[in-house]
Structure 1
Amino acid sequence: MTLPSEVHVQLARMEEARRETQRQLDQIDRQIIRRMTALIPRLQPKRIGYRHGKPPDGQAFLERYRSHLAALTAERQPEIDALSWRLAHQDQAIAVLRVRHGLVLPRVA
């Protein structure tokens, strides 16, 4: 049988590993956002058409933005999937440990 202090140490380690995995996912998200922010000026349409009486096409900009975002996300998708899988399993392992040792947090309604 494990001592309560050992269980708390193990739980703390598991929670820290989960936080690290979440930080990695957040970092990927920030990197994608940073790259998209840098791409925005290049996605803007040339202003030549507006001088000839045509307003800029906002829909075309959104389509270009979405396609670039999808491409950047697809590049990182295997990494995102692996980290998401790991995060889900860490959550499950933490929940099992809490239930097994009676450390379940009360639900807030």
Structure 2
Amino acid sequence: MNPSPDRRVQLCRMEAARRQTQRQLDIIQRQITRRMTALIPTLQPRRTSYRRGKPPDPRAFLERYRSNLAALTAERQPEIDALSRKLVRQDRAIAALRDRRGISPSP
């Protein structure tokens, strides 16, 4: 069955809106990554403790890294959750339109 041109236009618009939502989610992830990258030098252990004979503890660095990452992610979590829910709704709507109109998924 060949879908009408207006249905194809509607599907294209829905797919474009989905791509935009995914882009917004990706931007948030990149912003978190960029902020964590900027924080890494501040998370490094102070060199003075190593001079006193005890080597720096790598687990302490990972612990500080993970806690800062969790804090940054928690800060943006409501936005991430809202966009994720929107993405799921858009996926369902696109799939439902394709099923109703017999349109095969685009590559």
Q: TM over 0.5, yes or no?
A: yes
2:73 is equivalent to residue 73 of structure 1: yes
For structure 1, the residue ranges without an aligned partner over 5 or more in a row are: none
Give the Cα separation in 2 of the matches to 1:6 and 1:22: 24
Partner of residue 102, structure 1: 102
TM-score w.r.t. the length of structure 1 is 0.92
For structure 2, the residue ranges without an aligned partner over 5 or more in a row are: none
Structure 1 residue 49, shift from structure 2 partner: 1.2
Give the Cα separation in 1 of the matches to 2:56 and 2:73: 27
Identity across matched positions, percent: 69
The 5-angstrom pairing of residues 51-66 of structure 1 reads: 51-66=51-66
Structure 1 residue 68, shift from structure 2 partner: 0.4
Look up the equivalent residue of 1:82 and give its one-letter code: A
Alpha-carbon RMSD across the aligned residues, in angstroms, is 1.3
Q: Deviations over 1:81-109 (max 9, x none)?
A: 00000000000000000010001339xxx
TM-score w.r.t. the length of structure 2 is 0.93
Instruction: Report which structure shows greater RCO (CA 8 Å, sep ≥6).
Output: 2
Look up the equivalent residue of 2:84 and give its one-letter code: S
